[in-house]
Structure formats: C-alpha cells, structure tokens
C-alpha cells in the first residue's frame, strides 16, 4: 500500500548533515518526498510502500553524530505520487525551535584534505564540512542557512556549489562550505593593519620562532600566541597583556606533544580530542619544556589541541594561546577592535575576512572521577541545550556578576549562554545585553519570567529589574547558594530534595550578610539554611577579597606570625576595622577561610585573579598526607538540627601546626582534609535529621580537586550518594542554570 507521511524532527538537526542523511535514507529505500529546514527543526514528507516508510522511520531515529534527535512527530498525508526525493529550500517563519549546533573541531576527513597536496583545499585554512567547522560563532539568525551566517558575503564557486548540491557529497548543504577560489582569505597584518608580504602562515611561524607575539583570529575571538618554550617571549606577553600570575593555556600540535608536557589519562585524552576541544587542566610533567612564565609556580597546566584548520597549519610546537585582550577586558573578536586593542600587545595579526558573530571563549575543564568537571563552559558546548523539568513559562535567568552566563529555559530545555565574563566591565555588560537579544532571536524564546540573584548591585540584577519594569514581567529572585545547588541538581537531572553543600567566595544571603560556607536542605523550589561557617568580618569588603592576608587578621591570628610581620604596616588597622565592623560586613564564606589559611602559610597575601590564593593552596598541599585537623559542629541557637562551624578553630590548628615546625605542604593538606571531613560531618548530621541520603556539592570552592576528592570519598564511605557537576561549572558560571530551574519550579508549583 502506498502511503505518505509528514514528519517533524526536533533537536540538533541543522548544520550537522542531517538533511543529506535523510536524503540518503529515503533514496536507499526508494521513497519519494522532500526534506527541508525551518525555524522549528526539520520537516520531512516521505511517500512509498508502507513497509519502506516504516523502515525509514526506524532509521531516522539513529542519525550520525553530531546530530541529536529530541523528538519525532508524524502525521498521515494523502499520497501524491512522484518518484523523486528532494531537498527543498528552507521555510521561513514558524516557531524557532531549531537548535543551532556548537562549533566543532576540524574532522579527520577535512584534515586529510588539508594535508593532501593533490586536494583543491590543500593547505586551505577554512576547510570544513557538514561534520565540522564553525557554527554558533558565525550564526546570525535562524534557520541555519548560509544567508544567516557570516559566510553570507562569500558567493560559492562552481566547484563548491556542486558539492553543496550533491546529496552524495559530504559537503551537501554544509553552510560554511568554501575553497581557496571563493572563501575567506588569510592575511598577516602589521600593527597598523597593513598586509605583510609573503605566505601568511610561513611568515607567522617565523615571527613566533623569533620570539614574537602573534594575534591569531580563531573561532570565537582573537588569541595571543607565543612560543611556549621561549622564556623571553612568554614573559613579554605577560608584561604587555598586564597579566601577572594567571596561568596561560598552551596549544600543542598533537597528543604526543601533550604527553611531553603533562600526564594524560584516558579521560583527559577523550576530552582533549573531543569535538569541543576544551582547554583541559592537566598535571604538569616535571621538566616539561615550558617557559617558567607560562604558569608560574603551578603544578598543573591548561592544554588544548588545534580545533581549526588554521591552528593545524600554524601550530608545530606548543604555543601559548591566551585570549586576545588586555587585563580584564573581554576577548577581542571584531577585526578593527582587535587591531586597536591589541596593537600594543601583538607584533602582528594573523587574520581573515570571515566575521565572528558571537565572541566565545575557549572552554575549560578538569577531570574528576573519570569525567569532566567544567570550569568554563563556552566554545564547543554552547548553545547545546540541557534537559530540565518541563512546564511553566519561558524563563530568562540573568546569572551572577562575575563569570556571568545567562540562561533561557522553555519546554524542558535550558540554553545556558557562552561565558560572558565580569559584568562590571562595560564591554562585557554590552556583550551580555547583545547575547540575550541574540539568544532570544535564535531560539525564539520570549521570556515571561525573569530570574535573578538578589544582590542589588549585580548588573545582571539591575538588568532584570529594569527589563521587568519595562515589560511588566514577574521577577523571581533566587538566593545565590540555592542557585548553586539547583544548578548541580539540574546538571544531574535530579529534582531533590537533597543536602546541598555550597562553598564559594561570597553571595548575598537572605539575612543580608555575605554567605559562602553553606549547608542547605534544598529542592528546586526552595531551601532551608541548615548549617554554615561562623561569620567573621570581611575587613575592607572587596579589598579583603583582593588581599587574603586580611582574612588572617579577621580570623584573629596572633600578630607575631610571619603573615602579620609581612603586613605590619596595616595589620593593626585591619584588625581594628574588623573589630569595629565598620567597612567590614560579616561573612560565612568558605573561600575566605581558604584565603586566611593561604596567607598564614605564606602562600599568598595579595591576589591578581579570582580565587588565586585557594588555587595555590591546593597546589601546595601534599596529596599523600591523610591526617586532618578536628572539625566541630556547634548547635545553632534555635535548637533545631542546624549548626554553626567554628572556622577559627581550623585556622588556630593551622597556626599551632606551623609553630610546631610542620612543613606547609603537610599543613595545607591537613586543612583540605579537615574541610572534607567537615562536608561529611555536616551531611551525616543532616541525614540523621532529615532522612535525606543524597548530597549535592556546588560553588567555586569545589573546583578544588583535592577537596572534592576527599569530600566525595568520605561521603560515599558514609553511605551517601553524591552529586557533582559534569556539564556546567560549580562556579558562578552555573548560577544562571540554577536560577532558571528554580524559577520554573516555583512558577509551576504556585501562582506567581
């Protein structure tokens, strides 16, 4: 019997070779019909023998990666006859559910062409196909079609057009398809933007070999590159970029080269070679051929593999590849802007004429328990949706202040944005606004609810309030640490309730003080504060965060310690500020407790990037040390199960150990072990009180692998189930996802 069936496919089905796959499947089965993209995904009509149509539907559900199917719906149509199966032009309009895919590293087939002297794309730095190449960073609108990408300005030559239209070709409907005859062109430019003579890549390599600093236009922005083994070049890059200590990432030409730099396990290898190509933080090999200035005093090193053809052509030995910006500015992504902003940093610019539409930083991951622990989720992952509970109105969650991301959630999908950065910076705040608009257009989501952090000074909060006022939208404020725990729940597709342990720097608490060492009983709708560090003053507010030694003073360490001597000029005053409480808001922050210990041990008195003291304390700790300082939970005054942790006793124990002559690495480890014990003790106590057996760990402090390992091991030994982050970072980059799921849960559980 001849039947005709209409099919709608939703998921990541555009720009991933899905239509050619459908075409092939239909042709093989001798079916007639059509396939096309629209703003909702892919629409198909197939006609033929009923059994063949059935087989077609079966095959359709298993497309080749990177396509991901979320939903297939069918309806019966009346047969029309005809024998051909055609790919039709994109339909405009309709609901914009089509998922734009993330940028993907150059595939093996394209790499082969790149290296094949006989291929017409030999050595062409923009080779790509339906399986690889730029996506999110070049898409300007949906549906995903060439006119809606930054390739719109490049007319295909006859050769490329033939490939593009040939259903048998692997470039069939590959939107960014191009070749040397018709596509983008590489150029090496001097500081004044003048094109330099010679073959650009040859010249650029020469410049790097001679110790020069090269700005390289990548997928999501400009990088600054220097030869990683060249001490002078890397030091010059640090000085010109005004980046004092924060480690640089290194791009190595291949896995063998990575292995010379660092220890690579199977999980690390899988992440390094994945299509997302994140920066993977690895344990550095002793004597690795790296300049000291790459990652001063750091036992780890961030490494990534080439992810564009240009990188493959350029990188012959490990290169520092750091974001193209000065100090705290966001990464430069427009050519004119890069030329002016990086003029005094780079010696030359390796650039091209394919515009970058969305500035997207490299992603960063660590490996924990054989999987990824994201530190920054951006290029290669964004805008892949995360599954969240469905129902409720469309939500825009505005995120936190630093490491900002925003998140749109609707119909069971959450789109967490690329890494936006520190909103206090004007350029970043502009990127935030533009990014929100872009996502709204791309995913066709008109938010009906705005979720935000209750901190009144966050620019993301101010944005939410302003927009809610203008559009008369309801607001849902989500407490910072509740958002952390909710993010961890969403990351694990868990609804709670759980025992949540949220350890971070600071976030505004419901009592108006700064929280950050919190035990919560939480689900997606709400939470109860069940335990926390005993508050101490934060002397000088934000200054105390930049100057960890102040936390040693706030924790009351004796003034005959080295930390007091090193800071003698202001020690007494800072103690007085803390005591008077003037300019010293109280905080229960775990990050600040780490700061105090780092300062006492002489690890760091002043930081130049966020979390530096804690990062260095972790580096310093001796992982073989298993003993710990005792931890105590004091009953809270309300008589309930809640408790308060005297952090000062841990600092006191550190001080005594130091006086006893114990080496700093041992002390640092004992402190880490104690905090791990604290997590376990708190969770066990709350299990007894509530019967809950699952613990969610979130907050930036849990990027600390030593602590995380101790806590997880201890919790599991105690018979508890542990949730950690896999897809969004435990730091504030995950806050927007947490806000989104809380807003959805509240909106569905009660009237707003």
Partner 1 sequence: LAHGAGGKATNTLVDAVFLEAFRNPLLEAMTDGATVTAGGARLVFTTDSFVVSPLFFPGGDIGDLAVNGTVNDLAVCGARPLYLSAGFVLEEGMPVDDLRRVVDSMARAAARAGVQVVAGDTKVVQRGRADGCYITTAGLGVLTADVELSPENVRPGDAVLVSGPIGDHGITVMLARGELDIDADLASDTAPLHELCALLLKAAPGTRVMRDATRGGVATVLAEIATASEVAIVVDEAALPVRPEVAGAGELLGIDPLYVACEGRMVAIVDGTDADAALAALRAHPLGAGAALIGRVAADPEGLVLLNTAFGGTRIIDLLVGDPLPRIC
**Residue 450 half-sphere exposure, CB side, CA atoms within 13 Å?**
21
Q: Which does 110 bind (CB under 5 to 8 A by kind): Zn ion, partner 1, Fe ion, none?
A: Zn ion
Give the pairing of strands 348-352 and 214-217.
Answer: parallel
Give the pair of three-digit tokens for residue 500.
């949540």
Active site residue 37: yes
**Residue 671 half-sphere exposure, CB side, CA atoms within 13 Å?**
36
Q: Which does 538 bind (CB under 5 to 8 A by kind): Zn ion, partner 1, Fe ion, none?
A: partner 1
Task: Find the binder of partner 1 among 51, 580, 632, 634 (CB under 8 A).
Answer: 580
Give the pairing of strands 643-645 and 634-635.
Answer: antiparallel
Least CB distance to Zn ion at residue 18 (A): 15
Q: Which does 430 bind (CB under 5 to 8 A by kind): Zn ion, Fe ion, partner 1, none?
A: partner 1
Closest CA to 14 of 65, 63, 67: 67
Catalytic residue among 2, 4, 37, 71: 37
Least CB distance to partner 1 at residue 707 (A): 17
Q: Which stretch binds partner 1 (CB under 8 A): 34-42, 60-68, 540-548, 736-744?
A: 540-548
Give the pair of three-digit tokens for residue 4.
């005709």
Q: Between 242 and 441, whose beta carbon lies closer to partner 1?
A: 242
For residue 722, list its beta bridge partners.
695
Give 555-589 as a DSSP string. TT--TTSHHHHHTHHHHHHHHHHHHHTTT--EE--
Q: Which stretch binds partner 1 (CB under 8 A): 228-236, 261-269, 505-513, 556-564?
A: 505-513
Q: How many CB atoms lie within 10 A of CB 227?
A: 24
Q: Which residues bind Zn ion (CB under 5 A)?
A: 107, 110, 129, 131-132, 157, 160, 179, 181-182
Least CB distance to Zn ion at residue 280 (A): 22
Q: Between 121 and 455, whose beta carbon lies closer to partner 1?
A: 455
Task: Find the binder of partner 1 among 10, 163, 401, 616 (CB under 8 A).
Answer: 401
Give 1-56 as a DSSP string. -EEEEEEEEEEE-SSSSHHHHHHHHHHHTT-EEEEEEETTEEEEEEEEEHHHHHHH
Told to check if 566 binds partner 1 by CB under 8 A, we report: no
Give 448-464 as a DSSP string. SEEEE-S-TT-HHHHHH
Least CB distance to partner 1 at residue 736 (A): 13
Told to check if 502 binds partner 1 by CB under 8 A, we report: no
User: What is the distance between the alpha carbons of residues 493 and 705, in angstroms, rounded to a whole number?
Assistant: 23
Least CB distance to partner 1 at residue 207 (A): 24
Told to check if 570 binds partner 1 by CB under 8 A, we report: yes
In the shown chain, the binding pattern of residues 425 to 464 toward Fe ion, with x for contact by CB under 5 A and - for none, equals ----------------------------------------
Q: Are 189 and 351 in contact (CB under 8 A)?
A: yes
Task: Find the binder of partner 1 among 552, 574, 600, 686 (CB under 8 A).
Answer: 574
Q: Considering only residues 295 through 324, tell me which ones interact with partner 1, judged by CB under 8 A.
A: none
Least CB distance to partner 1 at residue 431 (A): 12
Give the pair of three-digit tokens for residue 393.
């109105």
Told to check if 582 binds partner 1 by CB under 8 A, we report: yes
Least CB distance to Zn ion at residue 60 (A): 23
Cis preceding linkage at 572, omega within 30: no
Question: Would you say the C-alpha torsion 447, 453, 455, 460 has a positive or negative sign?
Answer: negative
C-alpha dihedral, 484 to 411 to 14 to 384, nearest 10°: 10
Q: Between 504 and 610, whose beta carbon lies closer to Fe ion?
A: 504
Give the pair of three-digit tokens for residue 270.
């899988």
Told to check if 346 binds partner 1 by CB under 8 A, we report: no
Q: How many CB atoms lie within 10 A of CB 266?
A: 9
Does residue 403 come out as left (phi exceeding 0), alpha (psi in the -120 to 50 range) or beta?
left
User: What is the distance between the alpha carbons of residues 292 and 297, in angstroms, rounded to a whole number?
Assistant: 8
Told to check if 732 binds Fe ion by CB under 5 A, we report: yes
Cis preceding linkage at 497, omega within 30: yes
* Three-state secondary structure call for residue 410: strand
Active site residue 559: no
Closest CA to 634 of 617, 648, 621, 652: 648
Q: Are 506 and 467 in contact (CB under 8 A)?
A: no
Give the pair of three-digit tokens for residue 5.
């069936």
Told to check if 507 binds partner 1 by CB under 8 A, we report: yes
Q: Which are the contacts of 407, defined by CB distance < 8 A and separation ≥ 6?
A: 395, 396, 397, 399, 414, 415, 416, 417, 736, 737, 739, 740
Told to check if 422 binds Fe ion by CB under 5 A, we report: no
**DSSP single-letter state for residue 132:** B
Q: Considering only residues 727 through 746, tell me which ones interact with partner 1, judged by CB under 8 A.
A: 731-732
In the shown chain, the binding pattern of residues 112 to 141 toward Fe ion, with x for contact by CB under 5 A and - for none, equals ------------------------------
Q: Are 439 and 417 in contact (CB under 8 A)?
A: yes
Q: Which does 540 bind (CB under 5 to 8 A by kind): partner 1, Zn ion, Fe ion, none?
A: partner 1
Please give the backbone phi and psi of residue 626, each rounded to the nearest 5 degrees, phi first: -110, -15
Told to check if 622 binds partner 1 by CB under 8 A, we report: no
Least CB distance to Fe ion at residue 545 (A): 12
* Three-state secondary structure call for residue 518: strand
Give the pair of three-digit tokens for residue 112.
């082969």
Catalytic residue among 2, 4, 8, 19: 19
For residue 395, list its beta bridge partners.
409, 449
Q: Between 221 and 507, whose beta carbon lies closer to partner 1?
A: 507
Q: Which stretch binds partner 1 (CB under 8 A): 6-14, 25-33, 67-75, 533-541?
A: 533-541
Give the pair of three-digit tokens for residue 639.
């008589």
Give 657-680 as a DSSP string. HHHTT--HHHHHHHHHHHHHHHHH
Q: Considering only residues 662 through 721, tell me which ones interact with partner 1, judged by CB under 8 A.
A: 700
Q: Are 213 and 345 in contact (CB under 8 A)?
A: yes
Told to check if 242 binds partner 1 by CB under 8 A, we report: yes
Told to check if 544 binds partner 1 by CB under 8 A, we report: yes
Residues that contact partner 1, how many (by CB under 8 A): 52
Q: Which stretch binds partner 1 (CB under 8 A): 16-24, 217-225, 409-417, 535-543?
A: 535-543
Least CB distance to Fe ion at residue 486 (A): 12
Q: Which does 129 bind (CB under 5 to 8 A by kind): Zn ion, Fe ion, partner 1, none?
A: Zn ion
Q: Which does 457 bind (CB under 5 to 8 A by kind): Fe ion, Zn ion, partner 1, none?
A: partner 1
In the shown chain, the binding pattern of residues 487 to 516 toward Fe ion, with x for contact by CB under 5 A and - for none, equals -----------------x--x---------
Q: Are 358 and 136 in contact (CB under 8 A)?
A: yes
User: What is the distance between the alpha carbons of residues 302 and 5, in angstroms, rounded to a whole number?
Assistant: 51
Least CB distance to partner 1 at residue 505 (A): 4
Q: Which stretch binds partner 1 (CB under 8 A): 98-106, 289-297, 371-379, 541-549?
A: 541-549
Told to check if 508 binds partner 1 by CB under 8 A, we report: yes
Q: Considering only residues 419 through 478, tell me which ones interact with partner 1, judged by CB under 8 A.
A: 423-427, 429-430, 455-459, 462
Told to check if 610 binds Fe ion by CB under 5 A, we report: no
Please give the backbone phi and psi of residue 100, each rounded to the nearest 5 degrees, phi first: -75, 135
Q: Between 179 and 645, whose beta carbon lies closer to Zn ion?
A: 179
User: What is the distance between the alpha carbons of residues 384 and 371, in angstroms, rounded to a whole number?
Assistant: 18
Least CB distance to Fe ion at residue 734 (A): 9
Told to check if 329 binds partner 1 by CB under 8 A, we report: yes
Q: Between 154 and 463, whose beta carbon lies closer to partner 1?
A: 463
Any idea which residues carry the catalytic annotation? 19, 37
- Which residues of the chain form contacts with partner 1 (CB under 8 A)? 242, 326-329, 400-403, 423-427, 429-430, 455-459, 462, 480, 504-508, 514, 538-545, 570, 573-574, 576-577, 580, 582-585, 591, 610, 700, 731-732
Question: Which residues here bind Fe ion, judged by CB under 5 A?
Answer: 504, 507, 732
């Amino acid at each position: 019997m001849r039947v005709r069936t209409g099919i709608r496919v939703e998921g990541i089905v555009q720009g991933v070779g899905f239509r050619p796959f459908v075409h092939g499947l239909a042709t093989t089965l001798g079916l007639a019909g059509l396939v096309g993209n629209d703003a909702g995904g892919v629409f198909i009509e197939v006609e033929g023998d009923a059994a063949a149509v059935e087989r077609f539907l079966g095959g359709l559900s298993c497309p080749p990666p990177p396509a991901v199917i979320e939903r297939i719906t069918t309806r019966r149509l009346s047969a029309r006859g005809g024998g051909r199966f055609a790919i039709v032009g994109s339909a405009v309009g309709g609901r914009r559910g089509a998922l734009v895919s993330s940028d993907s590293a150059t595939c093996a087939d394209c790499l082969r062409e790149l290296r094949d002297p006989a291929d017409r794309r030999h050595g062409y730095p923009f080779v790509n196909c339906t399986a690889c190449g730029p996506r999110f960073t070049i898409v300007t609108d949906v549906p995903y079609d060439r006119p809606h990408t930054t390739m719109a300005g490049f007319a295909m030559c006859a050769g490329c057009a033939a490939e593009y239209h040939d259903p048998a070709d692997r470039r069939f409907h590959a939107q960014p398809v191009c070749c040397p005859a018709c596509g983008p062109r590489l150029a090496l430019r001097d500081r004044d933007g003048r094109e330099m003579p010679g073959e650009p890549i040859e010249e650029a390599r020469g410049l790097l070999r001679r110790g020069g600093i090269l700005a390289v236009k990548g997928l999501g922005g400009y990088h600054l590159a220097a030869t990683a083994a060249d001490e002078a070049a890397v030091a010059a890059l640090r000085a010109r970029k005004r980046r004092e200590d924060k480690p640089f990432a290194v791009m190595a030409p291949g896995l063998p080269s990575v292995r010379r730099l660092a220890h690579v396990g199977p999980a690390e290898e899988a992440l390094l070679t994945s299509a997302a190509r994140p920066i993977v933080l690895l344990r550095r090999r002793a004597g690795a051929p790296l300049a000291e200035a790459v990652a001063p005093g750091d036992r780890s090193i961030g490494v990534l593999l080439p992810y564009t053809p240009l990188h493959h052509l350029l990188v012959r030995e490990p290169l520092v590849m750091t974001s193209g910006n000065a100090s705290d500015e966001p990464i430069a992504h427009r050519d004119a802007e890069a030329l002016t902003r990086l003029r005094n940093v780079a010696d030359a610019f390796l650039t091209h004429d394919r515009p970058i539409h969305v500035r997207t930083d490299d992603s960063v991951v660590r490996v924990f328990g054989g999987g990824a622990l994201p530190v920054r989720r951006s290029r290669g992952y964004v805008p892949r949706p995360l599954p969240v509970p469905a129902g409720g109105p469309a939500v825009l969650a505005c995120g936190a202040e630093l490491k900002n991301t925003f998140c749109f959630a609707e119909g069971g999908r959450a789109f967490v944005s690329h890494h936006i950065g520190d909103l206090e910076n004007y350029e970043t705040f502009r990127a935030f606004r533009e990014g929100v608009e872009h996502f709204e257009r791309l995913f066709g989501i008109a938010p009906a609810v705005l979720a935000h952090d209750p901190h009144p000074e966050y620019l993301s909060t101010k944005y939410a309030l302003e927009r809610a006022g203008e559009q008369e939208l309801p607001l849902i404020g989500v407490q910072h640490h509740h958002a952390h725990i909710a993010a961890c729940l969403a990351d694990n597709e868990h609804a709670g309730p759980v025992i949540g342990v949220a350890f971070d720097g600071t976030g505004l608490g419901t009592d108006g003080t700064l929280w950050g060492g919190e035990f919560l009983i939480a689900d997606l709708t709400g939470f109860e504060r069940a335990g926390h560090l005993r508050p101490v003053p934060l002397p000088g507010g934000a200054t105390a965060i930049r100057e960890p030694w102040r936390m040693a003073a706030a924790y009351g360490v004796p003034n005959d310690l080295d930390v007091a001597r090193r800071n003698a000029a202001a020690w007494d005053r800072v103690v007085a500020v803390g005591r008077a409480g003037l300019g010293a808001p109280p905080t229960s922050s775990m990050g600040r407790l780490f700061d105090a210990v780092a300062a006492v041990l002489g690890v760091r008195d002043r930081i130049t990037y966020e979390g530096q003291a804690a990062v260095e304390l972790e580096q310093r700790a001796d992982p073989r040390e298993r003993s710990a300082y005792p931890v105590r939970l004091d009953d809270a005054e309300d008589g309930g199960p809640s408790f308060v942790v005297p952090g000062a006793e841990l600092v006191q124990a550190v001080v005594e150990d130091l006086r006893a002559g114990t080496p700093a690495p041992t002390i640092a480890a004992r402190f880490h072990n104690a905090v791990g014990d604290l997590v376990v003790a708190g969770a066990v106590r709350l299990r007894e009180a509530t019967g809950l057996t699952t613990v969610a760990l979130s907050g930036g402090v849990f990027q600390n692998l030593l602590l995380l390992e101790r806590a997880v091991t201890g919790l599991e030994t105690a018979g508890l189930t542990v949730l950690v982050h896999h897809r969004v970072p435990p730091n504030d980059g995950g806050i927007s996802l947490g806000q989104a799921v809380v807003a959805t849960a509240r909106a569905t559980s009660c009237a707003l």
